[in-house]
A and B are shown apart, each in its own frame.
Chain A
Amino acid sequence: MIARLADGVPRKGLWLLAALLLLLTLFPLFASGYLLAIGFLILYFAYVGQAWNVMMGFAGQLSLGHSLYVGLGAYAAAALYVHFGVSPWIGLGAAIGISMLAGAAIGFLAFRFGVAGVYFAILTIAFAEFARIGFDHFAWVRGSSGLFLPVANYTENDLWNLRGSPVMFYYLMLAMTAGAFVLCHALLRSRMGYYWLAIRESPEAAAALGVNVFRYKMYAVVISAAMTSLSGVVFAFYYNNLFPEQIFHISRSIELILGPIIGGIGTLVGPIVGAFLLTGLAEGLRELMLQLGIDVPGVKQVFYGLCLLLVIMFLPDGVWPPLARKLGLHR
């Protein structure tokens, strides 16, 4: 199974991946608290970017409302923990279930009634906005005043309840990012992966070759939603506070798709490269400005916009595909 996963992957690529994994594993040993937080953020965006990529990069369905699944996952697990003391790993079941249902509802509405392209993207925004407004008035999770998780000064890491140090969260996020990479790699090589790419390139031709387009688009949405909701669970337990205004906000949906766009939509490495570039550079810039004592609000957004502009103008496939060719790697 493992051996088959590595089939046909260039040797050099495997070594580079192993080196990267080793580096990221050792990172907390010499990173400060601040660097560790940035490391967590990079991995977080690499993970959600990968999850979003399943829908857009593989199956060609543009979602601009992925904050919906982050938020639903976060709220489901946090509410169960706050109200009943349920472990987030059990809460994860609810998180995934609810997100998959939401994804299935959106997918069904759109794909059954032929809502595609821009209109589909707008529909995904609409659902995230419904959730934002709905959760603002959802008293059980404290509405707009926000849901807070109890925090203490943890001396020990409790992985079962996700209570502990940033280092624990960092390693959890690293494991998730690595897991998502392997999962997506396997998906892409499966029958379903071929069918997704076919649908992305031409739904008519795919259907003529026996692909049930509706079904495989649904799989893409539901799998992407489930993966995304896991990042929401970790997000909730890492930050310990949730506000509908923030977590469901459209800017969050946009933020999480920038990584894969800049790294390379539809590639496995693109979301990771994109997360490193964007989050790494943005945080570096912020730190630099702090040191220089310059305070310009909105500088991060401007920076994101600039990166996007440069990539779209000069590297329309993203940073990774040309880089991969330079390194002599395929995907």
Chain B
Amino acid sequence: MSRLELRGVSKSFRGLKAVSAASFDVAPGGIHALIGPNGAGKTTIFNVVAGVYAPDAGEVLFDGRAIHGLRPDQVCAAGVGRTFQIVRPFAGLSVLDNVTVGALQAIKDVPAAKKHAAGIIEKLGLSAKRDLPASSLTLPDRKRLEVARALATRPKLLLLDEVMAGLRPTECDQIVAIFRELNRAEGLTILLIEHVMRAVMALAQRIVVLHHGEVIAQGTPDEVVRDPAVLESYLGEETEV
């Protein structure tokens, strides 16, 4: 059974078809990437999976269970963690408190949740900034904070929306290593949206290509980069490999 399965998912905004009849699945323990040009509908797909929007049509299955129509907090409780492309830190709270909010999803006891949060902050290299307000963080650190908060909920599936944008290549490699390790050690399934092809090629076992809301190709990285439709509509324009 797939960890995540989309069957014919569509979502429009006032007539604009942001996603149309998208179908793909993510295997348990896999790392898959969702790529496509700006406005292709990638973030909208995350929002549908995470319960921000109910799809106009189609189904979203998580471990075989239908989750479309659930609220975001219910989707999170089911085991889906997500980051926001446009970061949404709890600006007035410390880094530790930000991550503790996520940890409280998995661990009800506050001191224990704090301890769990501190461990994740350590893992993401934010320990030095643990007690600073999130508002004082730089954008790359805010992206790390997004990841830390989502990870703290102990998800089975992690949705990462352009968390590497703006990172320097070495920072990018660091975070790639973290995701690999989480995937290997804890069997965490990851679906990531990324423009940085360096990260996509390094991480993804499978790639789904979206264009104008439609899935135009999917397969292994090798298959996808050779796909004529992909070359024409996407990679041809901005090859960053």
With A202-B88, A209-B153 already in contact, the answer to whether A189 and B71 are too (CB < 8 A) is no
Chain A 168-200 per-residue mask, 1 if CB under 8 angstroms from chain B, else 0: 000000000000000000000111001101101
With A205-B88, A208-B72 already in contact, the answer to whether A197 and B108 are too (CB < 8 A) is no
Asked if B90 contacts A197 (CB within 8 A), the reply is yes
Asked if A209 contacts B149 (CB within 8 A), the reply is yes
For residue B30, CB closer than 8 A to chain A, the reply is no
**Which residue of the partner chain, among B84, B93, B149, B152, contacts A204 with CB atoms under 8 Å?**
B84
For residue A287, CB closer than 8 A to chain B, the reply is no
Asked if B90 contacts A207 (CB within 8 A), the reply is no
Q: Which of B53-61, B95-103, B220-228, B230-238 contacts A (4 or more CB under 8 A)?
A: B95-103
For residue B50, CB closer than 8 A to chain A, the reply is yes
Chain A 202-215 per-residue mask, 1 if CB under 8 angstroms from chain B, else 0: 10111111111100
Identify the closest chain A residue to B80 (Cβ).
Answer: A208
Asked if B76 contacts A210 (CB within 8 A), the reply is yes
Q: Complex formed: what's the CA distance from A117 to B100 in Å?
A: 26
With A197-B93, A205-B84, A209-B102 already in contact, the answer to whether A189 and B50 are too (CB < 8 A) is no
Closest Cβ of chain A to B68, distance in Å, is 16
Closest Cβ of chain B to A96, distance in Å, is 27
Interface residues on B, range: 20 to 34
How many residues of chain A are within 8 Å of chain B by beta carbon?
A: 21
For residue B91, CB closer than 8 A to chain A, the reply is yes
For residue B104, CB closer than 8 A to chain A, the reply is yes
Closest Cβ of chain B to A208, distance in Å, is 5
**Which residue of the partner chain, among A200, A206, A208, A266, contacts B50 with CB atoms under 8 Å?**
A208
Q: Which of B53-88 contact A (CB under 8 A)?
A: 71-73, 76-77, 81-82, 84, 88
For residue B105, CB closer than 8 A to chain A, the reply is yes
With A205-B90, A210-B105 already in contact, the answer to whether A194 and B72 are too (CB < 8 A) is no
For residue B89, CB closer than 8 A to chain A, the reply is yes
With A208-B84, A212-B71, A213-B73 already in contact, the answer to whether A201 and B150 are too (CB < 8 A) is no
For residue B92, CB closer than 8 A to chain A, the reply is yes
Chain A residues, CB < 8 A from B102:
209-210
With A191-B108, A208-B82 already in contact, the answer to whether A198 and B101 are too (CB < 8 A) is yes
Asked if B110 contacts A190 (CB within 8 A), the reply is yes
Asked if B90 contacts A210 (CB within 8 A), the reply is no
Closest Cβ of chain A to B54, distance in Å, is 14
Q: Complex formed: what's the CA distance from A198 to B100 in Å?
A: 10
Q: Which of A267-324 contact B (CB under 8 A)?
A: none
Closest Cβ of chain A to B198, distance in Å, is 27
Chain B 35-55 per-residue mask, 1 if CB under 8 angstroms from chain A, else 0: 000000000000000101000
Asked if A197 contacts B97 (CB within 8 A), the reply is yes
Identify the closest chain B residue to A7 (Cβ).
Answer: B111
Asked if B72 contacts A207 (CB within 8 A), the reply is yes
Which of B76, B88, B101, B110 has its CB near the most chain A CB atoms (within 10 A)? B101
Asked if A195 contacts B71 (CB within 8 A), the reply is no
Chain B residues, CB < 8 A from A206:
90, 101
Asked if A204 contacts B150 (CB within 8 A), the reply is no
Identify the closest chain B residue to A201 (Cβ).
Answer: B90
Identify the closest chain A residue to B102 (Cβ).
Answer: A209
Asked if B101 contacts A194 (CB within 8 A), the reply is yes
Chain A residues, CB < 8 A from B105:
209-211
Chain B residues, CB < 8 A from A194:
97, 100-101, 104, 110
**Which residue of the partner chain, among A201, A208, A211, contacts B92 with CB atoms under 8 Å?**
A201
Identify the closest chain B residue to A214 (Cβ).
Answer: B71
Q: Which of A212-227 contact B (CB under 8 A)?
A: 212-213
Q: Complex formed: what's the CA distance from A38 to B204 in Å?
A: 69
Identify the closest chain B residue to A202 (Cβ).
Answer: B88
Chain B residues, CB < 8 A from A207:
71-73, 76
Name 8 A/B residue pairs within 8 A (Cβ), A-sorted. Answer: A191-B104, A197-B90, A202-B90, A207-B76, A208-B82, A209-B73, A209-B153, A210-B153
The 3 tightest CB contacts between A and B, nearest first, are A210-B105, A201-B90, A207-B72
Tell me the B residues contacting A by CB distance below 8 Å.
Answer: 50, 52, 71-73, 76-77, 81-82, 84, 88-93, 97, 100-102, 104-105, 108, 110, 113, 149-150, 152-153
Tell me the A residues contacting B by CB distance below 8 Å.
Answer: 189-191, 194-195, 197-198, 200-202, 204-213, 266
Knowing that A200-B92, A210-B104 touch, tell me 14 more A-B residue pairs with CB under 8 angstroms.
Answer: A191-B108, A191-B113, A201-B89, A202-B90, A204-B88, A205-B90, A206-B90, A207-B71, A208-B72, A208-B82, A209-B152, A210-B76, A210-B153, A212-B71
